[in-house]
Amino acid sequence: MKIIYKALLSTMICSVAITANAQNKNDSTFSRQILVERDYTPSLQDASKINTMPDIYNPVMPKQQINFLSQAPSIGLKKNLLGNADPGEIVTDIDFSKKRGYLTFGGGTNANLDGAFGYQLLNTENDKLDISANHNSTNGNVDYESKDYFHTKAKAKSMDNRIGLGYQHKFSPAILSINAAYFNNSYNYYGNPYIINYGSAEDVEAIGIDRDSKQNIGSFGVGAGIQSREDGNNELSYRINVGYNTFKNKYGPTTGVDGAKGEQINVAADFGTDLGADKQLGVESRFMNQSFGKLQFATLTGAYNSLSVVEATPYIRFDGLNWNLKLGAKIGAAFDNENTFNVSPEIKSSVAFADRNVFYLNVIGGINDNTFLHILQENRYVNPLTRIGHSNTVYDALIGVKVGAVEGVEIDAFAGYKQTKKDHLYLSTSPFDENDNITSSWGNTSTPVYADLSTGNIGASVKTGLIPRTDLSATIRGYFYNVKYKDGSVPSFFSAAPSEKKAWGLPSFSVDVRADVKVLENLSVSMDYIFKGGRKTYFQGLGAVSMNNINELNFGGSYQILDWISVNAHLNNVLSQKYEEFAGYTLQGFNAMGGVSLKF
């Protein structure tokens, strides 16, 4: 089967290249590589940057399970962009630059380091060639949120390195893009193992918990794509992408066992045609296959089987003078250890009324692949004994109204409801089995509990630029959940599903506030505040416990010395709050960071 997939991949890449010699639309993926924000601050809102994998292509995907930790706003100032930024954002509005490269580096407390490099090797009307690289790392002590156990602190270690290369060529009717990237991430499972203080320190350490060894994950990916140009006279618009990734985990459940390794193939093809001036008929489709090599610990788990997903979304779109509507149906199938079939609506609509007001309604769904590389971005501390299974979102509905009756002020009131079959929530796993035998080197890992999860949310956001040289925004959101466990809700190595059915780790209330101020023409400062409350978690052996509220305040600033050099500084978690993303994994308290950015 692998040979067939690889042959199919090679054939498609060759077909794309051959087609491109006769054809050429502007693929912004390549252009965005040199516009990407390079700003790592080791706090809640930037934690997801540590885990970013090679982005070979971005097919249209259904919304994933609500993960507020990765959706929190970032305080980073986009200080190293080249080219134009979107208008109307006072802090990120950057004049056009003819410079073709950037270099940024910085350091701070807890040995936090951040660096990035990018250069446009080739930039002509028809050809572009970019190279980019970045590094993030931390190596500092973290005090655990709970002091009731033998271990009260740990060394949190992480290093993330990535290098990418991208090429784009414009043909007469189409654009060809080719990308390659290598990613390496190493980290330790430093989470609190919750071991009671008994006997001597030697007795505790003799248990064999490993919080120091660094897991290491490497991934290499290549991709190619071709799409029609918007400025052409094509009766049929199209976009075809194909990508291939390999990945490997250094360790399995113990340091003496090799980790999982595998490969992933993605193919996406979208086609559309105009039916007059105000209608478009089209179909979006994708195919994904993930497979794994032979595992040394295969007898302990049946999780690492292959997964294939096929989806197609036929649709029709209408564009009116002050309204638009997309009607479609997403039809898909997943071939896993348990095969599933899913049909979901694909409805997107908006109506403008009374000059500055917009009513919108979106209802979407689909299959969530939950691949190895995707879950690594969501939670890298997942127990190596398991692989997160796919889930099916029956529908994800969002309704709201944006009101702009007062010039300079925008209010967005919204409500949503989502139903997902066999969604996953994370439980913290002890290294011991029910007979107190060690099953893992790692003292604290995340194990999934599967449930049919219904999620509702209601809230509002406000944005304003009425204060001179200032942008303000605030969002308040409340959540409510309905959780129903499924058969086989937890992997076999976990003792039992918790009797209490909660949306483990998810909040019941959140507040996000941000302010960007352009103090002087070349001096910008920012502030953001994050609150997440009402979270509960579950640890095997301890049961259900409440998690500390996230209550974080951050400040940042950037000063442009010359058009090619700027300096920046960040003060993160200035309230020095202790909180966790996942039970036991307390994040850094107050930390500071400064750096320099160059454009050349």
Q: What are the residue boundaries of the structural domains of the chain, listed by start?
A: 2-599
Which sign, positive or negative, has the C-alpha torsion 464, 466, 471, 474?
negative
Residue 254 DSSP one-character state: S
pLDDT for 299: 59
Burial class (CB in 10 A: 0-12, 13-18, 19+), 235: exposed
pTM over 0.75: yes
Query: 3-state SS of 403-424?
Result: ECCCCCEEEEEEEEEEEEEEEE
- Residue 438, token pair as written in the block: 């060690």
What does the block give as tokens for 482? 């309905």
Task: Judge whether 530 and 511 are in contact, CB under 8 Å.
Answer: yes
The token pair that represents 146 in the structure block:
């709970």
User: Do residues 224 and 176 lie in contact, with contact meaning Cβ atoms separated by under 8 Å?
Assistant: yes
Residue by residue, pLDDT tens for the chain (600 residues) are 444 444 444 444 444 433 333 333 333 332 333 233 333 333 343 333 333 333 333 333 333 332 222 222 222 223 322 322 233 333 333 344 578 999 999 999 999 999 999 999 999 989 999 999 999 999 999 999 988 888 899 999 999 999 999 999 998 889 999 999 999 999 999 999 888 876 666 666 667 788 999 999 999 999 999 999 877 666 889 999 999 999 999 999 888 899 999 999 999 999 999 988 889 999 999 999 999 998 877 656 667 889 999 999 999 999 999 999 999 999 999 999 889 999 999 999 999 998 889 999 999 999 999 999 999 999 999 999 889 999 999 999 999 999 998 888 999 999 999 999 999 999 888 776 655 666 678 889 998 999 999 999 999 999 999 999 999 999 999 999 999 998 778 887 777 788 889 999 999 999 999 999 999 999 999 999 999 999 999 887 778 889 999 999 999 999 999 999 999 999 999 999 999 999 999 999 999 999 999 999
| Residue 431, token pair as written in the block | 């290294």
Question: Which three-class secondary structure state does DSSP give residue 120?
Answer: strand
3-state secondary structure of 74: coil
Distance (Å, whole) CA 214 – CA 190: 10
Rounded Cα gap, residues 385 and 226, in angstroms: 39
**Cβ–Cβ under 8 Å, residues 67 and 81:** no
Secondary structure (DSSP) of 305-368: --EEEEEEEEEEEEE-SSEEEEEEEEEEEEESSS-EEEEEEEEEEEEEETTTEEEEEEEEEEEE
Residue where the block lists tokens 């129903």: 484
List the CATH code of the domain at 2-599.
2.40.170.20
Euclidean distance between CA atoms 303 and 389, whole angstroms:
8
What pairs with residue 221 in β-bridges? 181, 245
Distance CA 339, CA 308 (A): 10
